[in-house]
Amino acid sequence: MSTALPYLPFTRPSIDEETIAGVAEVLRSGWLTSGPNVKALEARLSEYCGGRPVRAFNSGTCTMEIALRIAGIGTGHEVITTPLSWVATSNVILEVGARPVFVDIDPVTRNIDLARVEAAVTPATRAILPVDLAGLPVDRDRLHALAKKHHLRVVEDAAQSFGSTWRGQRIGSFGDFVSFSFHPNKNITTIEGGCLVLNHEAEARLAEQYRLQGVVRTGFDGMEVELVGGKYNLTDVAARVGLGQFPHLNEFNTRRRELARAYFELLPAAGLTALGLSLPAADFTQNNWHMFQVLLPEERLTLKRADVMAKMHEAGIGTGVHYPVIHLFKLYRALGWKPGDFPHAEYAGRNLLTLPLFPAMTRADVARVVDNLAAILQAHQKS
């Protein structure tokens, strides 16, 4: 009989049987595309966000692009953002014809360094697009003060921070545009999908047009097209998954905090911080702990991150990379960025390692991750 432990992925969604049965009901209903479940999900999301209008989409990427379009951002404009994110964050800026302007990160929070943002503002700047990396909110007070001072729109890439708060207020319940993702690795999922929180109903109507080919319908047969839209609508199947996930949000996030606390206890106890391993900011009030990321001390190790990941995989443990820096991708190098432009982000982009963290994990799973990581790093220290 094998005694091998099951493979531990870095993330895995928890979907209950009631939700699975609900999806089967949707499939039997014959109404598979956007319908009553999408409307119900939008209503729940609006309630969660303090009554603000919310529209659901088939990704958390198109939501940012649509927010930029609603804000009138396009050719000749600049949008300030972070180089440490999923490349979608800056791709949407290019998609609307604008230019991303990167600002280095704060090495403690790993979010965009707001102290450096003002120096990046030019007459062409129209918006700031910050990212809540791993669920830790960017300082919203400072962010919105900067935006107000320079008359900028804010598109919050809150893909990772659904369930996070700022000074007791839910992310999404205040501010300007707020984009959430419900990808399977997020704290709740719609399989693929996302939503955009808007400021008023006029913006919501525009979002609906951009969501489905620019179409406006009236009566039984009236149809008009006023702008170029896309095909970004969420299906009822996906929405039903989201409706089933919603009641578990607090439970999921509470469990994530418990697991994060276990990492904060066990990693130092295993001697990993003494080896130079850096932990994330210990915010247990506002962070939803979407991910737990440690920073490898490359200057003290004889192996690179990929080697660490391979050895963890051999031990039956999955890890992740979130993220390679955007400005060093070939597409962005061709636009003029180069190594050394953003040293804090580049160091993080080479050395951040995402450890397993999801609600179904146990403290024993955390201990297993820590023990294996400690063994690998201790065996590969520079003399």
Q: Which residue, chain included where needed, has tokens 């009631």?
A: 18
Mark whether 330 is an active-site residue.
Answer: no
Query: Which residues lie closer than 8 Å to 24 by C-beta, 6 or more apart?
Result: none
- For residue 374 the two structure tokens come to 């400690």
CB-CB contact of 249 with 229 (8 Å): no
**What separation, in Å, do the N-terminal and C-terminal C-alpha atoms of the chain show?**
41
Cα–Cα distance for residue pair 145/148, rounded to 1 Å? 5
Q: Which of 148, 186, 330, 338 is catalytic?
A: 186
Q: Which residue, chain included where needed, has tokens 């276990």?
A: 262
- For residue 312 the two structure tokens come to 């963890």
Cis amide leading into 323 (omega within 30): yes
Residues belonging to the chain: 383
Rg (Cα) of the chain, in Å, rounded?
Answer: 21
- For residue 190 the two structure tokens come to 């719609």
Strand 222-225 with 215-218, pairing: antiparallel
CB-CB contact of 77 with 98 (8 Å): yes
At 223, phi and psi to the nearest 5? -150, 135
- For residue 256 the two structure tokens come to 């994530």
The H or E element containing residue 268 is: helix 249-269
Strand 99-102 with 78-81, pairing: parallel
- Active site positions, annotated: 186
